[in-house]
Amino acid sequence: MSSPTGPASGLPVRMPRPRQPGRHRRPEPVAAPEGAPALVLAVPGVPSTTMRGLAEEVVSIARSELPGLDARIGYLDGEEDATVTSFPEFPSLHSVLAHAAAERTARVERARAAGAEVADPEGPVAVVVPLLAGPDAALMRRLRQAVMDSRAAAELTDVLGPHPLLAEALHVRLSEAGLARADRARLFTVATAADGIVLATVGGEEAVQAAGITGMLLAARLAVPVMAAALDEEGAIAATAEQLRGSGSTQLALAPYLIGPELDSALLEAAAKEAGLSVAEPIGPYPAIGKLALAKYTTTLGITPQQPSGAPAH
């Protein structure tokens, strides 16, 4: 057991690695600037412990990529009441932003009360990153309204996709379900691997078009046709599956181009059953999600120039 002051006697102690000299040494990790705005992950859907666990894993990945990051979670349909001393289990996005703004104001007032000359803060108090793989006009309208209602100086970023890392995540979920090869070099095959993929998304035609871009990247990885369809449009999944069958695919799979909170699992199951498709898991808290959320944050603030691994070169 460990003690309050450190590990128990006899247990190994993790020591920092010495820096490698010369041109091949690893670069020092970039840390969040002091006083940087909070990254607020905006989570759609009805709050639940499962959803909270997913969101917490995403922000944990973001924090590990940028030490010192102030990362918080706000639920689009969360609880509104929040004070400095009391905060609900599932705080609304509105509450989280208002709380962050109140904290910044309090810091400035304390500094001035201590005699420091502190200018009024400039820039956003938070950067809001939607936990969405693709565009959803209705959800984005609600997110913008929540940001406005908070009266906090916050910036709302675009959704996480399309992006090559999302194609990678979809590939992994398909391979975990035995519906795709686990590698890109075809070193071995899976007997149940699909020869056609339907990407299920929500959010209308704009979402389908955006999913189609990631679908092309997934098709290049798997060397099978991939088509996107709207899960929230009646009959769209079945019609897309028939289109793939008409082009020669016989063993089809349904891959949710969804992170999880925005997914109606009953709708997914019904669509898969109607179309006769095997189903992979949603993207979930895949490490790329945390990296993409952080990339939206850092790009908005200009903190770091680098894109997450897998980003297309410009």
| From the candidate CATH numbers 2.40.128, 3.40.50, 2.40.50, 2.70.98, the one assigned to the domain spanning 38-161+288-301 | 3.40.50
pLDDT at 5: 41
Reading the block at residue 1, the tokens are 């057991």
Residue with tokens 């940001």: 147
Q: How far apart are CA 71 and CA 81, in angstroms?
A: 20
Burial class (CB in 10 A: 0-12, 13-18, 19+), 242: middle
Within a 13 Å sphere around the CA of 179, how many CA atoms are in the beta-carbon half? 23
Q: Using CA atoms, how far apart are residues 292 and 289, in angstroms rounded to an integer?
A: 5
Residues with Cβ within 8 Å of 116's Cβ and at least 6 positions away in sequence, in order, are none
Per-residue pLDDT, 4: 40
CA dist., res. 157 & res. 297, Å (int): 8
The predicted structure's pLDDT at residue 42: 97
Which CATH class name applies to 164-283? alpha beta
Long-range contacts of the stretch 237-240 (C-beta < 8 A, 24+):
237/198, 237/200, 237/271, 237/272, 237/274, 237/275, 237/277, 238/271, 238/274, 238/275, 240/198, 240/275
What pLDDT is recorded for position 262?
86
What are the backbone dihedrals phi and psi of residue 85, each rounded to the nearest 5 degrees, phi first? Answer: -100, -15
* pLDDT at site 314: 39
Per-residue CA distances from 283 to 142, 169, 180, 222, 297 (Å) = 23, 6, 15, 17, 20
Per-residue pLDDT of the chain in tens (314 residues, 90 and over written 9): 444 444 444 444 444 445 555 554 545 557 888 788 999 999 998 899 999 999 999 999 999 999 999 999 999 999 876 554 456 789 999 999 999 988 888 877 787 787 777 666 678 999 999 999 999 999 999 999 999 988 888 999 999 999 999 999 999 999 999 999 876 544 445 567 899 999 999 999 999 999 999 999 999 999 999 999 999 999 999 999 999 999 999 999 999 999 998 888 899 999 999 999 999 999 999 999 999 999 999 999 987 644 555 544 43
Tokens at residue 138, please? 């209705």
Q: What is the model's pTM?
A: 0.83
Closest CA to 256 of 142, 141, 132: 132
In the chain, where the domains are located: 38-161+288-301, 164-283
Do domains 38-161+288-301 and 164-283 share one topology? The answer is: yes
